[in-house]
Amino acid sequence: MTTYLVTGGAGFVGSHLIDRLLDEGHSVLCVDNMVTGSRANIAHHLSNPKFEMMRHDVTFPLYVEVDAVFNLACPASPVSYQKDPVQTIKTSVLGAINILGLAKRLKCPVVQASTSEVYGSPERHPQDETYWGNVNPIGPRACYDEGKRAAETLFFDYRRQHNVDAKVVRIFNTYGPRMAVDDGRVVSNFIVQALKGEDITIYGDGTQTRSFCYVSDLVDGLVKTMEISRDFSGPVNIGNPAELSVHDLAEQIIDLTRSKSRLKTMPLPVDDPIKRKPDISIAREHLKWSPEVELEDGLIATVDYFRSLGM
């Protein structure tokens, strides 16, 4: 049995990761400042003696005793991270410093939840881990994009300078139950609008592409990254390489929900990527990982979740 620290554990991805770790018999300390996290996501664990919740902001040092750390703390949707951009970049950079300092003291492994946003609006397609990206350092998304890039730098510097067992996972678009209703991500937006019978808002002409990974597949990739030898550091892309247009996603969700919603186009936000697709060769080779959940199956489960909220 291992005691894991999961920062951002009350969030969408963090709560599913905690489910997995507890199911495997481990103990979990969930740390979250509850800015974007939800108590409802972890409420089913509150009576579990192997689960502990701590309200704490990772921009301040954390003094706990654990065996391994998953650092997921940071708002991840454009709506969330642009509400307070200064705090967003603080969470990425100061949070990484504090979590790496903890891992250095405890001599324990730590996995950083980075993002495909480090590639910016990519000029290479699909995106592999050797690509340095095309990021606007002064745009409205930079607080997240550059914050995560700086966090990656810190993880590799701590690895080189202090021999910390630090690993980096670059997460591509992920969806599933427990997504926030108002987080502004394309899957949740489309499902909520379809269930309400509202017009489905497409930003741009809808030809921009994304690749969607179901949350259980992502969690499996995070766990396998933690469990692999310390010789492997990443960065490693974790995402589904099946690519489709935003327009096609909207049509599929309309069909699944049997909605009468119509499509409505709006201007594309500044610096919004036109294409996004992971090259997962490294994950396949080193982690023996690849996604298993088909998009339709994952969307059905996600639609059922939003229906359960009374949408």
**Tens of pLDDT, residues 112-145:** 999 999 999 999 999 999 999 999 999 999 999 9
pLDDT at 269: 81
pLDDT at 261: 93
Check if CATH label 3.40.50.1110 holds for domain 3-174+213-240+278-292.
no
- Residue 162 pLDDT level (bands cut at 50, 70, 90): very high
HSE on the CB side for 308, CA within 13 Å? Answer: 9
What is the C-alpha separation between 113 and 97, in angstroms, rounded?
14
> pLDDT tens, 232-282?
999 999 999 999 999 999 999 999 999 999 999 888 788 778 889 999 999
Q: Which residue in this structure is represented by tokens 């995402």?
A: 239
The C-alpha angle 86, 87, 93, rounded to 5 degrees, equals 90
Could you give the dihedral angle defined by the CA atoms of residues 295, 300, 305 and 310, in that order, rounded to the nearest 10 degrees?
130
pLDDT at 274: 84
In the residue annotation, 144 being an active-site residue is answered as: yes
pLDDT at 184: 84
pLDDT at 242: 95
Lowest mean pLDDT, pick from 98-102, 207-211, 225-229, 303-307: 207-211
Q: Given 4, 81, 119, 144, which residue is catalytic?
A: 144
What is the C-alpha separation between 261 and 255, in angstroms, rounded?
10
What is the C-alpha separation between 52 and 39, in angstroms, rounded?
12
Beta bridge partners of 7: 31, 71
Residue 218 in this model has a pLDDT that exceeds 90: yes
218 with 238: CB under 8 angstroms? yes
The pLDDT of 163-192, averaged and rounded, is: 95
SS3 91: helix
6 with 72: CB under 8 angstroms? yes
pLDDT at 271: 74
Determine the residue type at 309: L
Task: Supply the angle between the helices 186-196 and 295-308 in degrees, to the nearest 10.
Answer: 60
Beta bridge partners of 32: 55
SS3 308: helix
Look at the chain and count its residues: 311
Beta bridge partners of 203: 266
Distant-in-sequence, close-in-space partners of 62: CB < 8 Å, separation ≥ 6: 31, 56, 98, 99, 102
Tell me which H or E stretch contains 174.
strand 174-175
SS3 19: helix
Domain residue ranges in the chain: 3-174+213-240+278-292
Residue 66 in this model has a pLDDT that exceeds 90: yes
Residue 289 in this model has a pLDDT that exceeds 80: yes
Q: CA–CA distance from 307 to each of 181, 195, 199, 258, 277 (Å)?
A: 11, 8, 18, 13, 29
81 closest CA partner among 278, 276, 269? 269
